[in-house]
Structure formats: structure tokens, C-alpha cells
């Protein structure tokens, strides 16, 4: 039994989970279900995925309960490409009474056999479900108080799990839990970023989110220092260029198109009218970023080539996916990158379907030092 349950009424069962729950963009449930099946096989979990198109979440139901912490150790919000959040679930509560939702939720949480230090009430990212976001904000404090009275919640207690309650509709709740640091730092896995007026295009939010979602704190600190050099392939109108220049990097923007005047006004940008696929830097740079509209395999090969030849130390790039066979396209790009870099050295490749992406995914690639 985890040490954090020592003050619960005894005896307490070992905390168990019944499967996995993943949040995603509506319309990508099939890809998440396939990833969950693959992930479950890798960690030795037996069961099946349930996905309803347009629901913006997918569940994986285990054939039998598994120890919560054993399963939770494998779950991290960056684990799957198409999932914004990945957590073990331990209870589903149906037919919630409108006047007293807290009582059955507390009862279900008690049966989990553990306590919690943080609480997150969420809805799937659909137009219908988001109408309940106000309810989630209002209900958080009363539910937390009820959990505290039941001895299931300790504020700021280091090491305790985070409780996630997902409301797909008014009368149903999925209860999930995550280990500290394993859940996305934003509710529903959706970062709230403001559109800078000077950035030139809304695509700037893709790179901003990628920087926070794909890089570690240490990587952000060491690789985004003022004065480092970067290249933006297919830069116009300059949304990605602005993100780097705004952080003090000197950017060479490659595009035959025109950059927004506000991007050039940073005085950190050199604009060269050239083809992003054929242009080469005179010396290595820290970053190459790329948001060109092209076949994903061609972009993946381009990024791998820049890394393999030392033109850049790290890269962030977008892969525009086909409407069908999205996961297969991602797998193909992984294979192309591995083929090019396998003999060069160990590398880090992280791919995620970001909130600000649509029919695309964003990837980070760098050789390990």
C-alpha cells in the first residue's frame, strides 16, 4: 500500500486502476485508440480501447484491475502523439444526481484507496462539453472540500497523486489519477496562449506551444538564449521567425514570399528569398524550424538531413498529415528519420498533435550530447 494512505480508515485495499483515459482533438479518436492499443501491448496491459467519433476522448479498459502506481509510472502526457492527456482511470460514475454530485464522487474516490493533493475538473474538448466548463469551475471548491472532509485530500502534500474528474456529460464522470509531474500542466492538456499582435500570423502559436510542450526546462534555457542563431525554412509571413527573434535569437528567414513588417522590425531577422529545400547555411546554427506545406515524408527527410550533417543542432518542424492514415504517416516519418540517423548517433524525437495544430503534428529532433 502507498505510504500516503496511512491515515485512511483501515484496512485499505491497494490502489487499483481499470485502464487508461486519453484526451484528444475531436475527430482523432481512431488514432488515439490505435496508439492506446500499441501502448498497452508495450507495457503488458491486456484489454481493449473504446472510441466514439467526435467525443474528444478515448478509454482503454483492462481485462482486470492493475496496481495504480505500476500503471501510472508508465503514463505521461507526452507519451502518445495524438493524446493531450494520458491518465489511469479507476472509476466511472453514472447517473450523477443534479443536487448532490459530490457524494457519489467522494465514495468512488474512497474506493481508490489513496489520497490526493490536487484536483482538476475537466471536460472533453467539444463544443457541447465545453458548455460545462463553468460548472467545473464552480464545482471544484465544493468537491475539494468534500474530499477534505472525507480525509482524501491534502493540499500541497508532496508525493500525492492528482485527481482528475472528467465530465463527458452532465450525469457521467470518469475518475482518474496521475503521479506528480506526469499530467499535462494545463487543464484538458490545452495551453492558453495569447496571440502576439506583432507575430505576423497565428501560426506563431504552434511554435510557442511546441517550445513548452516538446522541450524540457533545461532545453529551453540552454537552446533559446539570446544571441544564438536559427534558420526558419518557409518563413513567410514570419510567425515562427518572430517567436525566435522575440527570444533574442538571430534568425535567417528563408522564403520567396514576404515577411510581415512587424517581424522585420525586430532587427533580429535576415530575410533571404530562396528555396527552403535547397538553401544551406554557411555555418552550423542552433535551430532550424520549418512549417512548409509539403508531403510529411519530404519534411521529415529534410529535418533528418539537417541534423545528420550538422547544419543545425536541433529542429522543430510540422508534418502535414493526410486526412486518412494519419498514424501510418507518422510511423513512416519516424522510420525515415531513424534510417538517416541510426548510424550518426543516439537522438531524441518527440512528436505531438498540439492544440494549435489541426491536420498536422509538430516534432522536435536533436542528437543527444
Q: Which residues are catalytic?
A: 320
Q: With b meaning 16 or more CB within 10 Å and e meaning fewer, what string describes 183-222?
A: bbebbbbbbeeeeeeebbbebbbbbbbbbebbbeeeeeee
Q: With b meaning 16 or more CB within 10 Å and e meaning fewer, what string describes 340-356?
A: bbeeeeebebbbbbbbb
CB neighbours of residue 122 within 10 Å: 23
Name the helix (H) or strand (E) containing 53.
none
Tell me how far the alpha carbon of residue 58 is from its chain's centroid. Answer: 15
Give residue for cell 500542466.
Answer: 185
- The dihedral of CA 73, 76, 81, 85: what is its sign? positive
- Contact by Cβ (8 Å): 253, 238: yes
Q: How far apart are CA 69 and CA 358, in angstroms?
A: 33
- Contact by Cβ (8 Å): 289, 207: yes
* C-alpha cell read off for 164: 482528475
> If we measure between CA atoms, which residue out of 51, 24, 54, 49 comes closest to residue 39?
49
Task: List all residues 6 or more positions away from 151 whose beta carbon is below 8 Å from its beta carbon.
Answer: 7, 8, 9, 115
DSSP SS3 for 131: coil
* C-alpha cell read off for 32: 488515439
Residue 350 β-bridge partners: 364
**Dihedral angle of Cα 211, 215, 220, 223, to the nearest 10 degrees:** -100
DSSP SS3 for 61: strand
Amino acid at each position: 500500500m502507498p505510504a500516503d494512505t496511512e491515515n485512511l480508515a483501515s484496512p485499505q485495499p491497494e490502489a487499483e486502476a481499470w485502464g487508461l483515459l486519453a484526451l484528444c482533438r475531436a475527430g482523432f479518436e481512431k488514432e488515439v485508440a490505435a496508439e492506446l492499443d500499441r501502448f498497452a501491448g508495450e507495457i503488458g496491459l491486456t484489454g481493449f480501447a473504446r472510441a466514439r467519433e467526435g467525443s474528444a476522448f478515448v478509454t482503454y479498459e483492462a481485462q482486470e484491475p492493475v496496481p495504480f502506481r505500476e500503471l501510472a509510472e508508465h503514463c505521461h502526457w507526452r507519451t502518445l502523439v495524438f493524446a493531450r492527456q494520458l491518465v489511469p482511470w479507476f472509476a466511472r460514475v453514472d447517473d450523477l444526481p443534479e443536487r448532490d454530485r459530490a457524494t457519489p464522487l467522494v465514495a468512488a474516490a474512497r474506493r481508490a484507496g489513496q489520497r490526493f493533493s490536487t484536483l482538476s475538473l475537466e471536460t472533453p474538448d467539444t463544443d457541447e462539453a465545453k458548455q460545462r466548463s463553468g460548472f467545473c469551475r464552480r464545482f471544484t471548491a465544493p468537491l475539494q472540500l468534500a474530499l477534505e472532509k472525507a480525509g482524501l485530500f491534502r493540499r500541497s502534500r508532496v508525493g500525492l497523486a492528482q485527481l482528475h474528474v472528467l465530465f463527458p456529460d452532465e450525469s457521467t464522470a470518469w475518475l482518474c489519477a496521475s503521479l506528480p509531474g506526469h499530467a499535462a500542466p494545463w487543464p484538458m492538456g490545452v495551453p492558453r496562449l495569447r496571440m502576439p499582435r506583432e507575430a505576423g500570423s497565428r501560426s506563431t502559436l504552434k511554435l510557442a506551444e511546441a517550445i513548452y510542450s516538446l522541450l524540457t526546462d533545461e532545453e529551453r534555457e540552454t537552446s533559446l538564449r539570446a544571441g544564438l542563431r536559427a534558420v526558419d525554412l518557409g518563413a513567410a509571413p514570419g510567425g515562427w521567425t518572430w517567436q525566435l527573434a522575440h527570444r533574442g535569437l538571430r534568425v535567417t528567414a528563408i522564403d520567396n514570399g514576404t515577411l510581415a513588417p512587424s517581424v522585420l522590425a525586430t532587427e533580429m531577422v535576415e530575410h533571404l528569398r530562396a528555396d527552403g529545400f535547397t538553401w544551406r547555411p554557411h555555418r552550423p546554427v542552433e535551430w532550424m524550424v520549418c512549417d512548409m506545406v509539403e508531403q510529411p515524408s519530404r519534411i521529415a527527410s529534410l529535418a533528418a538531413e539537417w541534423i545528420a550533417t550538422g547544419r543545425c543542432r536541433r529542429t522543430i518542424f510540422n508534418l502535414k498529415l493526410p486526412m486518412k492514415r494519419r498514424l501510418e504517416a507518422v510511423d513512416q516519418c519516424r522510420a525515415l528519420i531513424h534510417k538517416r540517423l541510426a548510424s550518426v548517433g543516439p537522438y531524441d524525437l518527440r512528436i505531438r498533435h498540439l492544440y494549435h495544430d489541426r491536420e498536422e503534428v509538430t516534432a522536435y529532433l536533436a542528437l543527444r550530447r
